[in-house]
Structure 1
Amino acid sequence: MRSLPRSLLPFALLLAALATANAQTVVVHNAKVYTPQADGIREYAGIVIEHGKVRKLLEAGTAVPAGSGITSVDARGRTLLPGLIDAHGHMLGLGQLQLQVDLRGSSSTKEAVDRVLTFAKANPNDRWIIGNGWNQVLWTSKQFPTAADLEGATSGRPAMLSRVDGHAIWVNREALKIAGITRATQDPPGGQIVRDASGEPTGVFVDAASALIEKHVPAPTDQEIERTLGAAMKSVAALGLTGVHDAGIDTRQYAAYQSLGKKQQLSIRIYAMLADSEAARATIAKGIQPAQFEDRLQMRSVKAWVDGALGSRGATMIQDYSDEPQHRGLALYTPAQIGELASLTAKHGWQLNIHAIGDAGNRLTLDTFEQRLTAAQRQSLRPRIEHAQVITLEDIPRFAKLNVIASIQPTHATSDMNMAEDRVGPRRIKGAYAWRSLLDAGARLAGGSDFPVELPNPFFGLHAAVTRQDRDGHPPGGWYGNQKLTRAEALRLFTIDAAYAAFMEKSVGSLEPGKWADFIILDRDYFKVPESEIDDIKVEATYVAGTKVTR
């Protein structure tokens, strides 16, 4: 869509004055400050910041505080919002994208291979060619790619290319050879090696089968992890994110965050979800980690996956896929295994956040929370279902009844609308991406993007939630437009509701006295621009604890 011209007002003085807001009292006035509160979205004319926190909000017509030690800044009518929070992203994956082949948006197998060839030529010292973002649904063939397609593209080096949803990989013959994959290799539990008619592996591995290849890719050093996380934080801050729920990290990544925190290099707030694994169980048994570095890092949740993704037909369904009879997805945990994890995490005080996309996966997760957690534990531990994508109509009210948070990603709907109904059919689609139904049933929601599966720009998510359309305005009226959210509801997803989902609603998520002064300055008014232009909103500057974290 066409972007509006940016204002020619001299805005640099405002940004320069605010850059030192954490070191003194700063009064920002002549602004449009929107913030969620208990009674809805409130608008103010200014904000008083002191020692990195909100001291006071100024009503229209209120005298502007003045005096020694106070810096007064005229915002010239600019819009201020609370810093936005992505409730489900993958920071290491986002940072790594800058060092990998970007296959997002490729329209054919040939275009994807051409990008791999170009990248391989430009990076002759890379031991493996790593990429991300292919989606065969967008290709003219609609078919999975093969190892043969990559013949000659990598100068004899192994290649591993992740599907856009992260639930399948495409590899070349060199990678198959290194991993020792042959027709005799068995599918692991919860995974699939895609094979041709003769039983030979084609080069695509789905869900748990990906580990057969991934374990052979050289691990990054601690310094590389820190550098990658730093790059990711810088990139999302520029888009208006002051917080991210990092959905599935290991202890090395947590140690990297701690190292960055000690060096005062955590530019945004990270709510870490420890990925469940055999190695992680020892950390779980030690109990949750306290908030550190002025609420910039905390790990008190565990991430698990009960199924795969809809695009690769890994999401578990109660009945067969509509476009693949005799197939119901890939279960990654048995009911007993996920139940044992729920009991373990509850015993040690951890929030449990379970990835569930198919209606069978969502039902299993709801059943697990109901059977393994007491009502008091569900209230205090705030369990979450990550994605909550395809849900039977009878299961929708159970989210509110069981105090289970639905952690949703609005852009998944607009990305998946080209194939979702093919997968589940016209009846089951009524409970898919059903945000309005969940809200009306009393459920708590939190909003994210699942970057780098989707782009991390939160205004793309706000736009998708409000319009149910892609960025080109399709389809007219929105895809299943009865599930649209209002602008206020959508903003809450990425502010106070995301903060609640991380136990942080008393310190961030809205601009209220006593909370950290995490906010963003926009080039236009989120509540006044046409809905079709929400995704065009640009962030002028991002502040965490009153300090500017963008250039």
Structure 2
Amino acid sequence: MTVTFNGARLLDGRLVDVTVTGGVISAVTPAGEVPTIGDHIELDGHVMIPGLWDRHTHFTQWAHASRRVQLGDAQSAADAAAMLAAHADAHPDGDVVGVGFRDALWPDVPHFELLDEALDHGEVGDSGEQRRVVAISADLHTVWLNSAALRAHGFYEHPSGVLRERDAFAVIDALDEVPEKTVDGWAHEAAEAAAARGVVGVVDFEWGFAPADWQRRFAAGFDELRVAAAFYPERFDDALALGVGGGEALDTSGLLTLGPLKVITDGSLNTRTAYLREPYAGDAGRSRGQLTVPPEELTALLRRAVQAGQTAAVHAIGDHAVSHALDAFAITGARGSVEHAQLVLPEDLPRFAQLGVTASVQPEHAMDDRDIAERYWGARSRHAFPLRGLLDAGAALAFGSDAPVAPLDPWLAIVSAVFRSRGDREPWHDEQSISLEQAVQASVRSSIAVGQPADLVVLGADPRQADAVALRSQPVVATMVAGRFSYDAIR
């Protein structure tokens, strides 16, 4: 099948006709210069860009998130407990699961007793069982449980009910034990919503073993997005058993590939476990955070990835963790990315380009975390989310959301990178802002050129003319993946 988009406006201002044949761009010519072949769609100057990617998601978590109690507006532990209690009153049975709280700036401290009291000391549901309550932090590195949930997850005498890092990951993973058919249906819905925002692909860092989950979904007909399904060290042998290298196809659709080995080397800012060279400021004591994978172990993992033909994605948020990650790439010659890179020492900026390591970053986190960074990183926050610094040093940027930490919507990352502000607040370290064109480039994996995948997005308004408010809700009228419409509001 051949289809031509007539009169597409590119971000560089050119007005062109774009022809797609068999999932590939077969021609890009000045508008009206060549007679149209096959079907055609008149764009009349609508802006066209390459398909957008979210380079860091936890897709199943994102699919779950809208079905859980939203705690993002909670200004205290007491607020969050009241929200969870209100949900429990309205839904008289089953576990109560909340998501999105940020406790770093709360005036009070989360504790299992607060949840117990809010739910009337272990209220029972219609089933006669004690209600279990779990609240998941926005950064996914902390969970807060009531007494019943602590017991259910094997923590019988925990002093606070607040679990961090690996204990938290284990609880979150256990919460995802939903029937496959159900969660796969939610994944379809989430993918359709992403396509409506111009998304053509995601890198999925879901816990468990994402490659198998996605093989099941694609076998059942999933085709809304391209997916690079990552894996964790605990499942390295399972990844090798697939018999493919990093970036290679996992099925016959051409849409599913094996993603990178994901290694989490430190914690997060909100949890105050991101690993720093100097101690946290504020009331975090003299802690420097947690290095959860020591340098020698990280080097061994990356060396194994190289030997197996796999790429690597190393989670590193604190400046010291970023340095260790770059050291491991330098020692092993591994290919891949540093995920998050939220606080980067100036001397480490040029190392990304020198080593060919991508800075996989989530600009919307800067808007979520600016006040937390100011409190706990103090003057160091001028080195936080250094997008301009990374670009000027020659680094390749790849934008993502870390959904559900931020919504799976690339336009939020783009607007945060360009304007460094949200709402009516002043820009935060706007010396680190980048241009719209650079932000879009960090959000795509292809271009509008002959031979490129026909992954295309048609916009309903020109983003070059948009202010920060308009760009956050940038209209999308069509999304095409491999030459097939995944979202179509233009015809």
2:71 paired residue number: 103
- Relative distance call for 1:411 and 1:212 in structure 2 (3 A) is closer
Q: TM-score, normalised by structure 1?
A: 0.81
**CA–CA separation in structure 1 for the residues paired with 2:277 and 2:430:** 26
Which amino acid letter does the alignment assign opposite residue 307 of structure 1? D
**CA–CA separation in structure 2 for the residues paired with 1:318 and 1:146:** 30
Mapped pair 1:448 → 2:407: no
Please say if residues 385 and 405 of structure 1, whose CA atoms lie closer than 8 Å, have aligned partners that are also in contact.
yes
| Structure 2: runs of 5+ lacking an equivalent | 125-129
CA displacement at 1:179 relative to structure 2: 3.5
- Relative distance call for 1:256 and 1:216 in structure 2 (3 A) is closer
1:406 paired residue number: 359
**CA–CA separation in structure 1 for the residues paired with 2:233 and 2:186:** 22
CA displacement at 1:204 relative to structure 2: 1.0
Which of 224, 227, 248 is 1:270 aligned to?
227
1:232 paired residue number: 190
CA displacement at 1:227 relative to structure 2: 2.2
Mapped pair 1:148 → 2:101: no
After superposition, what is the alpha-carbon deviation per residue over 1:146-177, rounded to whole angstroms, capped at 9, x for unaligned? Answer: 21222253643111111000110011111123
2:204 paired residue number: 246
Mapped pair 1:431 → 2:390: no
Any residues of structure 2 matched to 1:307-318 within 5 Å, and which? 307-318=266-277
Which amino acid letter does the alignment assign opposite residue 49 of structure 1? V
1:418 paired residue number: 371
**CA–CA separation in structure 2 for the residues paired with 1:345 and 1:81:** 34
CA displacement at 1:45 relative to structure 2: 2.6
CA displacement at 1:238 relative to structure 2: 1.7
- Relative distance call for 1:225 and 1:256 in structure 2 (3 A) is farther
Mapped pair 1:56 → 2:10: no
After superposition, what is the alpha-carbon deviation per residue over 1:337-360, rounded to whole angstroms, capped at 9, x for unaligned? Answer: 212111111110110100000011
Which amino acid letter does the alignment assign opposite residue 275 of structure 1? Y
After superposition, what is the alpha-carbon deviation per residue over 1:106-153, rounded to whole angstroms, capped at 9, x for unaligned? Answer: 334344233323433444443x222210112464x2x33221222253
Please say if residues 473 and 532 of structure 1, whose CA atoms lie closer than 8 Å, have aligned partners that are also in contact.
no
**CA–CA separation in structure 2 for the residues paired with 1:216 and 1:352:** 25
2:100 paired residue number: 133
Mapped pair 1:348 → 2:300: no
1:37 paired residue number: none
Mapped pair 1:179 → 2:153: yes
**CA–CA separation in structure 2 for the residues paired with 1:212 and 1:91:** 17
Deviation larger for 335-344 or 161-170: 335-344
CA displacement at 1:389 relative to structure 2: 0.9
Please say if residues 249 and 272 of structure 1, whose CA atoms lie closer than 8 Å, have aligned partners that are also in contact.
no
- Relative distance call for 1:525 and 1:211 in structure 2 (3 A) is closer
After superposition, what is the alpha-carbon deviation per residue over 1:244-286, rounded to whole angstroms, capped at 9, x for unaligned? Answer: 11124433x3223112222332210001111222x43443475
Mapped pair 1:327 → 2:287: yes
Which amino acid letter does the alignment assign opposite residue 196 of structure 2? A
**CA–CA separation in structure 2 for the residues paired with 1:339 and 1:63:** 54
| Structure 1: runs of 5+ lacking an equivalent | 1-23, 35-40, 186-200, 500-508
**CA–CA separation in structure 2 for the residues paired with 1:326 and 1:385:** 26
- Relative distance call for 1:391 and 1:297 in structure 2 (3 A) is same
Please say if residues 129 and 158 of structure 1, whose CA atoms lie closer than 8 Å, have aligned partners that are also in contact.
yes
2:127 paired residue number: none
Identity of aligned residues (%): 27
2:162 paired residue number: 204
Size of the aligned set, in residue pairs, is: 475
Please say if residues 27 and 64 of structure 1, whose CA atoms lie closer than 8 Å, have aligned partners that are also in contact.
no
- Relative distance call for 1:276 and 1:120 in structure 2 (3 A) is farther
CA displacement at 1:217 relative to structure 2: 4.4
Which of 298, 301, 307 is 2:260 aligned to?
301
Which amino acid letter does the alignment assign opposite residue 166 of structure 1? L
Which amino acid letter does the alignment assign opposite residue 433 of structure 2? K
Which amino acid letter does the alignment assign opposite residue 487 of structure 2? T
Please say if residues 409 and 461 of structure 1, whose CA atoms lie closer than 8 Å, have aligned partners that are also in contact.
yes
Deviation larger for 53-62 or 345-354: 53-62
Mapped pair 1:86 → 2:45: no
